[in-house]
Homo-oligomer: A and B are copies of this chain.
Amino acid sequence: MSTWRWLLGTPLKSSEARHEEINETEGLAALSLDALTSVAYGPQAMLLVLATAGAAAIPLLWPITIAIVVLLVLLVLSYSQVIDAYPQGGGAYAVSRANLGPGLSLLAAAALICDYVLTVAVSIAAGVAALTSAFPALLPLTLPIGLALIAIITVLNLRGVGEGARAFLLPTFVFIAGILAVIAVGLVHPAHPGGLQAPAVAVAGAGTQVAEALGLLLILKAFAAGCSALTGVEAIANGVPLFREPRQVRARRTEAALGAFLGAMLLGLALLTIRFHVGPQPDQTVLSQVMAAAVGRGWAYYTVTLATTATLALAANTSFGGLPVLTSVLARDRYLPHLFAMRGDRLTYQYGIGVLALLAALLLVAVDGNTDALIPLFAIGVFTGFTLAQAGLVIHWRRQRPPGWVRRALLNGLGAVATAVATGVFLLTKFTGGAWVVVLAIPLFILLFRAIHRYYVRVAAALSSGAEGPDLPQPATGHSLVVVPVSGISRLTTRALSDALTLGDEVLAVSVQFDAEAGKRLEQAWEDWQVGVRLVTLVTRYSSVVRPLLRFIDAIDRNTHERVVVLVPEVVPRGFWAQVLHNETAAMLVASLRRRSDVVVAITPYHPPWEPKPTPAVAVSGGRRDKGE
């Protein structure tokens, strides 16, 4: 427990929650990394598809990239309108809930959850790939490095220091400037002599099959793969409340900058890829090859590579800002367990963080740290969210009818149609390649949300006092009986019987024995003790102590004894390890009674005398500062 505390830090007061307000540059670093860093895997995903049709198909990269950038412009414009309409943060879930009703909002929530998890997995996998491209010796450690990165990000977020926009500035700046510089140099200079180490295009199949394979399906597949570069475009619109005033203006500017940078990088990298005849390679990312060809494997290459890995890790980190907030909203709307709405000592939604880390780590293990294997799963959730948010906005504009609403509704409508078509393309082209996982996961999430909601509504109805107001408590007027399970005579027995005599009108000690002989001995000792409490001995032929006790308690006549308490004496050491040493019979008995019976279950805890006295709890938890409570 103290290790945990050391990792996470001392508890924080609610007033100590971070309220950073950010400007445009910081906004770019804090909210757009997911989108910007996708240049590290998006173009590669396209190239991988095209290369299956041979080297001759590679130049198709150019028109497809242009189509993706057109979609990017449309999305940036659409989301500028989302910023206008939902300055309080227009996540797809919130927009759908307000405009499209609860059903579609759950679809949006499920899609977003898939997307957040995938963003973490893809970003981490791509970050490690960038690293292993530069340092091939690390290749065998791909998966461990990825898992370690997730662990670090998780701990930082559990501590509540995951959102330091200012700390993100340097790597983000180096990354953007570095990639743009690489593109500039690459477009002007000839390929660097030492840069391309291997034959550039080492693709499967020669030009012979190209003719038949260069069909529409191939182009659509490449387009679908490349659209993974557009994920994260929505994040700025979700984060409007984080900006300094004038919020909406700053957010719109940031969105525009994101569009400009991302578009420039995608186009530039596509040109360089074609120019340098780069093809997909197992141990080298496409970005690494392009960089090596443009500037050689010198300090510039290594600097940009490290910045790429760092920004990809930070991109994964932004999901840790998003998903726990989403799950807390879902929990408050009673679609997820209450746990997700509870803040930990560090004021973070620790269960959301934990679940995100776990799912992302499982994904990473499932694909063995390989980015390319995750791409087919990616983008479907995001684009579903895009479509729902845009469609929701169309309805929003139609309801509100502000000046120019028709134009605005048309733009968002266009965005909705385009992203819906893109989603259709993804489903069509990527289904068998892995998209089925998402297609399966989303409805399962929705079913889960609904089942949880039904349960909570039912419990609330059962517990609510009804129209006539809450009943008054009715203490038992008859006899109350306290049953004390004992295994022998010791100081613990004495103490438990004292408590039992204090609480109830009548006390009964019960002992479960595996052989009759031992039972007789205990009964004799009990008689000699002259304790004035009756002892019942149950002899069982099974090995469980709990079952005969439950049976005995169920058999107690509830007419003579209106209320039954079972008081369990238990040795409770303070240390965690010492707890393992104590027979878990007491704990099992308490758990069983709690679940299976309606008696009051009580525990008389006995702390070994050499352990430090139970000090005031606050000191134990390290929260000495909460004087005023």
- Contact yes or no, B543 A581, CB < 8 A: no
- Contact yes or no, A474 B455, CB < 8 A: no
Whether a CB of chain B sits under 8 angstroms from the CB of A510 is: no
How many positions in chain A have a CB within 8 Å of any CB in the partner chain? 108
Contacts of A563 in B (CB 8 A): 499, 502
Quick one: given A541-B628, A623-B542, are A608 and B462 in contact (CB under 8 Å)? yes
Q: Considering the complex, which residues of chain A in the window 570-629 have a beta carbon less than 8 Å from any beta carbon of chain B? A: 570-572, 574, 578, 580-584, 590, 592-598, 600-610, 614, 616-618, 620-621, 623, 626, 628-629
Contacts of A550 in B (CB 8 A): 616-618
- Cα of A605 to Cα of B464 in the assembled complex, Å: 16
Contacts of A593 in B (CB 8 A): 605
- Contact yes or no, B614 A598, CB < 8 A: yes
Whether a CB of chain B sits under 8 angstroms from the CB of A162 is: no
Q: Which residue of B11, B497, B602 contacts A473 across the interface (Cβ within 8 Å)?
A: B497
- Contact yes or no, B490 A470, CB < 8 A: yes
- Contact yes or no, B494 A480, CB < 8 A: no
- Contact yes or no, B498 A473, CB < 8 A: yes
Contacts of A85 in B (CB 8 A): none
- Contact yes or no, A462 B491, CB < 8 A: yes
Identify the A interface with B (CB < 8 A). 11-15, 337-339, 342-345, 347, 452, 455-456, 458-459, 462-465, 469-476, 480, 489-504, 514, 529-533, 538-544, 546-548, 550-551, 554, 563, 565, 567, 570-572, 574, 578, 580-584, 590, 592-598, 600-610, 614, 616-618, 620-621, 623, 626, 628-629
- Contact yes or no, A480 B492, CB < 8 A: no
Taking the closest CB of chain B, its distance from the CB of A203, in whole angstroms, is 26
Taking the closest CB of chain B, its distance from the CB of A440, in whole angstroms, is 20
Q: List 29 A-B contacts (CB under 8 A).
A: A11-B542, A14-B514, A14-B543, A339-B580, A455-B581, A456-B581, A458-B608, A459-B608, A469-B529, A470-B489, A470-B529, A472-B532, A473-B494, A473-B495, A473-B496, A475-B498, A540-B626, A548-B626, A551-B616, A554-B616, A572-B595, A574-B596, A590-B603, A594-B605, A598-B605, A598-B607, A600-B602, A601-B603, A601-B605
